[in-house]
């Protein structure tokens, strides 16, 4: 495989066929699991996925559609291909999903639109058959709303002000060790502390405000089914990542997201949850110092123990063992959060991961950790 161009942790190329192939592989895996497990079904008819084109959003949509036979409406904002320029990976993921859903006679539609805008909310409303102006496949009111937006930029629909998130520590500069997952070279990176404006902007982009706006809108338009649920995604992680993650601007945004779940439940009478998921290779985690070496070490330990999960496996466990249990009870921690990071945070997993991190150098990064697995997962996000 020719190594795609990488700059500052970002992949500058896309393999369209590879993106579609990877999405189809996840769908076929879910088909096989569904056929093998007759207990996978739940009373799930209609699902809205906000941020449906990759990661946990795409995985949740696949599980809902091909595991539970639900109709799914996906929203994501992707760049279309044009002469001489490929589209974004999510564009091709969505194409593959809709094609497979059509072949399986599953109702699906994908809106390529800015999920932060009021105009997109109106588009979603017009897709629900309960409304006189329905124009988009006439979806049923939603049993489940999956909120999985990961954009670094958001424009407030009320004020028109645009905010950009910043991945920075709070209070003091933070020094972390990161790794070039192509070469294995390790280096120390120091990140200056965020300003108050950067903290506020990150919360505006990645916190719970937009999730709340969506749930209020869906409630006010009667677009939620009886006993509807909604879930958003978050992360906590170990001490070695918290200086730049949980104790930084991202952590403030995630705290706001988690607090919003309780507000949504009170205001909309909808069961609202934040799922704390495991560390995985994503387009976002690749640019967060400390995350690549930690994930590479974690992968080696969890794979050796038979505990490793990707987005699809995490989503399957979220549906089967958390949101839709046999007794109807959603197991949560003391703060009301779903914990899908439970295997990652096991004492034995963490102690062994820290041992590998301590031994990791530029010379042995690939042999000490699963940096090769990290690299493969990163390239797979772009179809390579």
Q: What is the 3-state secondary structure (H, E, C) of 8-35?
A: CCEECCCCHHHHHHHHHHHHHHHHHHHH
Catalytic residue among 245, 294, 299, 324: 245
Q: How distant is the alpha carbon of residue 7 from its chain centre?
A: 22
* Alpha-carbon span 290 to 20, nearest angstrom: 30
Active site residue 245: yes
Active site residues: 245
């Amino acid at each position: 495989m020719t190594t795609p161009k990488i700059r500052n942790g970002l992949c500058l190329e896309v393999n369209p066929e590879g993106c579609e192939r990877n999405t189809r592989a996840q769908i076929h895996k879910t088909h096989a699991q569904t056929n093998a497990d007759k207990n996978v079904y739940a009373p799930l008819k209609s699902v809205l996925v906000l941020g449906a084109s990759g990661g946990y959003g795409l995985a949740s949509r696949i599980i809902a559609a091909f595991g539970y036979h639900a109709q799914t409406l996906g929203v994501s904002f992707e760049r279309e291909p044009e002469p001489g320029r490929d589209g974004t990976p999510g564009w091709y993921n969505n194409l593959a999903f809709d094609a497979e859903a059509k072949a399986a006679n599953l109702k699906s539609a994908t809106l390529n639109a800015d999920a932060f805008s009021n105009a997109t909310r109106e588009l979603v409303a017009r897709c629900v058959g309960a409304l006189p102006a329905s124009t988009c496949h006439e979806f049923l009111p939603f049993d489940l709303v999956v909120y999985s937006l990961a954009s670094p930029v958001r424009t407030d629909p009320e004020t028109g002000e645009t905010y950009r998130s910043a991945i920075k520590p709070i209070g003091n500069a933070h020094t972390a060790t990161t790794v070039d997952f192509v070469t294995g070279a390790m280096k120390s990176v120091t990140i200056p502390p965020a300003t108050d404006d950067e903290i506020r902007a990150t919360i505006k982009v990645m916190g719970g405000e937009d999730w709340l706006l969506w749930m209020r809108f869906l409630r006010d338009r009667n677009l939620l089914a009886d006993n509807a649920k909604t879930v958003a995604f978050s992360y906590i992680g170990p001490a070695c990542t918290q200086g730049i993650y949980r104790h930084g601007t991202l952590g403030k945004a995630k705290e706001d997201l988690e607090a919003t779940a309780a507000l949504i439940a009170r205001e909309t009478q909808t069961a609202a949850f934040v799922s704390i998921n495991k560390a995985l290779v994503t387009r976002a985690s690749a640019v967060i110092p400390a995350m690549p070496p930690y994930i590479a070490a974690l992968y080696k330990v969890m794979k050796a123990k038979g505990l490793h999960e990707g987005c699809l496996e995490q989503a399957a466990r979220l549906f089967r063992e958390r949101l839709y249990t046999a007794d109807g009870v959603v197991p949560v921690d003391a703060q009301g959060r779903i914990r899908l990071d439970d295997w990652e945070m096991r004492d034995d997993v963490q102690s062994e991961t820290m041992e590998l991190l301590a031994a990791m150098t530029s010379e042995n990064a690939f042999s000490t950790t699963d940096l090769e697995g990290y690299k493969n997962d990163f390239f797979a996000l772009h179809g390579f």
